């Protein structure tokens, strides 16, 4: 019998986490869930604990006493550690071979970096750490021998379209920047569904409600990424993620709207070929690809029926109605601390929108104002990155508290 591979699922109570656990349920003989983390959804974590009996779990520190009295009851084999330290312990547990990074936002940065530094195979869905500290993560992978595997659907699609030697450059952290021309890669095209407001007027978009923004037409995701998909900041973050992960310049990355969300992204080659990856819009496909790589394991999702889809549409994004794309491209161009500032301001603005403290149209306004006043600085280590992140969060929160008109 082959040995089971130990897996950590960070963000197990979320959308990526539950897709990952669905795939792992299909392959119980092959994978063993060693650690699981949630944050606030403690009853969901409790259900997962009874089902998977992991060795290590983590959740928000305030829930510690509830976890100890309620969740751990009857699970003597499981060890609990709260907060950031718990996430890091889950990611670096000695029995873990593969980490699925599915925490939402910058909160996943330290555990993702710890997993990479510990030399794990890291399946990265959580794009914000790559937006903030791509070079740091890649350098850490080069140093530790970790394997970086993108499972954000677009980046996974690009990875699937690359020749084997460039795939190795990605997984080892070298990036493909210096070798892409030699391999004939001329550009990358990220596809975007366009979100729920693709055909909505600018005036209606600016006053959209949280319920409207969360109603994504093709993907079922957590609240933060759903709002980012509605502003198209998600595609902006993915542009920076692609630059970071693949070591490419922003000018090499194009974005097109593709409402059906079945062509997940493409790589353009210098002979005019464009190679893309297609599949039903379901995260279990890139997750199972990352788990099985270089083999393929079943995801539980059927191959799509193109005749049923009938038609695939493509168009350029409207930068006037979706200014977040311009902001993200400028941040990618500027580099240094600017992507960290963009991400922090966006996270604070999205949270404020979901709490109904600002209007939907004010999300890019908060980000824009923060970037206009941000002085780019070096952000080459974790401490610098965390300081900049915290500083910008405080500024953006204060800006929102005072009101954008003041
Ligand atoms: N969902 C998708 O289809 C999709 C596709 C591509 C990429 N991604 C990326 O994957 C990441 C996760 O997205 P998602 O949609 O799965 O989000 P989600 O459904 O909101 O889940 C987020 C997970 O992170 C946990 N969490 C929240 N705040 C935390 C904190 N401060 N510290 C530690 N854990 C925390 C949550 O725990 P509780 O729920 O227990 O509070 C939950 O387990 C994001 O970076 C997103 O951009 C998602």
Q: What is the pLDDT of residues 263-296, one digit of tens each?
A: 999 999 999 999 999 999 999 999 999 999 999 9
- Is residue 5's pLDDT more than 60? yes
Q: Are residues 145 and 187 in the same domain?
A: no
Q: Are residues 263 and 377 in the same domain?
A: yes
Query: pLDDT tens across 124-133, in order?
Result: 999 999 999 9
Residues in the chain, total: 406
Q: How confident is the model at residue 1 (pLDDT cuts 50, 70, 90)?
A: low
Instruction: Give, for ligand 1, the residue of 8, 15, 150 to mutate: max count of ligand atoms closer than 8 Å to Cβ.
Output: 15
- Is residue 406's pLDDT more than 80? no
Please report the pLDDT score of residue 75 as a whole number.
Answer: 74
40 Cβ inside 6 Å of ligand 1: yes
Query: pLDDT tens across 227-265, in order?
Result: 999 999 999 999 999 999 999 999 999 999 999 999 999
Structure tokens at 103: 């925490």
23 Cβ inside 6 Å of ligand 1: no
Contact in structure between 40 and 60 (CB atoms under 8 Å): yes
For 327-330, the CB contacts below 8 A with 24+ separation are 327/233, 327/236, 327/364, 327/367, 327/368, 327/371, 328/233, 328/235, 328/236, 328/237, 328/239, 328/240, 329/236, 329/239, 329/250, 330/371
Confirm whether 303 is domain-assigned.
Answer: no
pTM of the model: 0.97
- Residue-range definition of the domain harbouring residue 205: 183-277+319-402
Extended strands (E) in 178-316: 185-192, 253-257, 263-269, 274-278
Query: pLDDT tens across 349-372, in order?
Result: 999 999 999 999 999 999 999 999
Please report the pLDDT score of residue 140 as a whole number.
Answer: 98
113 Cβ inside 6 Å of ligand 1: no
Please report the pLDDT score of residue 391 as a whole number.
Answer: 98
Look up tokens 């903030």; give the residue.
132
List the residue whose alpha carbon is closest to atom 38 of ligand 1. Answer: 39
How far, in Å, is the centroid of ligand 1 from the Cα of 222? 6
107 Cβ inside 6 Å of ligand 1: yes
Confirm whether 95 is domain-assigned.
Answer: yes
349 Cβ inside 6 Å of ligand 1: no
Q: Are residues 217 and 258 in the same domain?
A: yes
157 Cβ inside 6 Å of ligand 1: no
Higher pLDDT, residue 40 or 74: 40
41 Cβ inside 6 Å of ligand 1: yes
Instruction: Give, for ligand 1, the residue of 225, 328, 346 to mutate: max count of ligand atoms closer than 8 Å to Cβ.
Output: 225
% of the chain surpassing 90 pLDDT: 91
DSSP SS3 for 132: helix
Q: Are residues 222 and 345 in the same domain?
A: yes
Please count the structural domains in the chain: 2
How far, in Å, is the centroid of ligand 1 from the Cα of 168? 27
Neighbours of 214 (CB within 10 A): 17
Please report the pLDDT score of residue 102 as a whole number.
Answer: 98
CB-count burial class (<10 Å; 0-12, 13-18, 19+) for 3:
exposed
Over range 135-140, report the average pLDDT: 98
Please report the pLDDT score of residue 95 as a whole number.
Answer: 98
Please report the pLDDT score of residue 180 as a whole number.
Answer: 86
What does the mean pLDDT of the chain come to?
96
How far, in Å, is the centroid of ligand 1 from the Cα of 254? 26
Q: Which of 102, 130, 151 lies at the terminal end of a domain, its last residue? A: 151
Q: How confident is the model at residue 67 (pLDDT cuts 50, 70, 90)?
A: confident
Q: How confident is the model at residue 389 (pLDDT cuts 50, 70, 90)?
A: very high
Contact in structure between 21 and 48 (CB atoms under 8 Å): yes
List the residue whose alpha carbon is closest to atom 21 of ligand 1. Answer: 14
**DSSP secondary-structure letter at 122?**
E
Q: Are residues 198 and 142 in the same domain?
A: no
Q: Are residues 102 and 190 in the same domain?
A: no
Confirm whether 32 is domain-assigned.
Answer: yes
* CATH code for the domain in which residue 211 is found: 1.10.1740.10
Q: How many helices (H) and strands (E) does the chain have?
A: 19, 11
Instruction: Give, for ligand 1, the residue of 8, 9, 10, 11 to mutate: max count of ligand atoms closer than 8 Å to Cβ.
Output: 11
151 Cβ inside 6 Å of ligand 1: no
Contact in structure between 21 and 9 (CB atoms under 8 Å): yes
Q: Are residues 145 and 198 in the same domain?
A: no
How far, in Å, is the centroid of ligand 1 from the Cα of 185? 32
281 Cβ inside 6 Å of ligand 1: no
């Amino acid at each position: 019998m082959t040995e089971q591979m130990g897996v950590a699922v960070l963000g197990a109570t979320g959308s990526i986490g539950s897709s990952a656990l669905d795939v792992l349920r299909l392959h119980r003989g092959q994978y063993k869930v060693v650690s699981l983390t949630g944050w606030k959804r403690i009853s969901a974590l409790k259900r997962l604990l009874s089902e998977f009996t992991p060795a290590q779990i983590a959740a928000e520190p305030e829930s510690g006493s509830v976890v100890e009295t309620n969740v751990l009851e009857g699970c003597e084999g499981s060890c609990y550690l709260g907060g950031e330290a718990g996430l890091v312990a889950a990611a670096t547990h000695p029995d873990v071979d593969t980490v699925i990074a599915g925490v939402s936002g910058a909160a996943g940065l330290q555990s993702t970096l710890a997993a990479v530094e510990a030399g794990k195979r890291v399946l990265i869905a959580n794009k914000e750490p790559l937006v903030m500290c791509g070079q740091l993560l890649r350098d850490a992978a080069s140093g530790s021998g970790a394997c970086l595997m993108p499972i954000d659907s677009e980046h996974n699609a690009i990875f699937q379209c690359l020749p084997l030697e460039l795939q190795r450059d990605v997984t080892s952290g070298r990036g493909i920047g210096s070798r892409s021309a030699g391999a004939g890669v001329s550009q990358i095209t990220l596809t975007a569904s366009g979100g729920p407001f693709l055909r909505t007027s600018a005036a209606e978009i600016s006053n959209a409600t949280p319920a409207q923004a969360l109603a994504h037409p093709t993907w079922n995701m957590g609240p933060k990424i759903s709002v980012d998909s509605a502003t198209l900041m998600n595609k902006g973050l993915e542009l920076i993620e692609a630059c970071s992960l693949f070591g490419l310049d922003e000018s090499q990355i194009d974005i097109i709207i593709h409402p059906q969300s079945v062509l997940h992204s493409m790589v353009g080659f210098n002979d005019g070929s464009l190679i893309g990856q297609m599949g039903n819009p379901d995260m279990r496909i890139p997750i199972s690809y990352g788990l099985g790589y270089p083999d393929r394991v079943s995801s539980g999702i059927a191959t799509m029926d193109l005749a049923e889809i009938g038609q695939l549409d493509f168009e350029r994004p409207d930068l006037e109605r979706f200014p977040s794309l311009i902001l993200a491209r400028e941040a990618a161009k500027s580099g240094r601390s600017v992507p960290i500032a963009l991400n922090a301001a966006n996270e604070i603005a999205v949270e404020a929108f979901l709490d109904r403290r600002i209007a939907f149209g004010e999300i890019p306004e908060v980000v824009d104002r923060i970037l206009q006043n941000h002085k780019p600085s070096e952000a080459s280590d974790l401490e610098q990155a965390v300081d900049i992140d915290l500083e910008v969060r405080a500024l953006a929160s204060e800006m929102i508290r005072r009101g954008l008109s003041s």
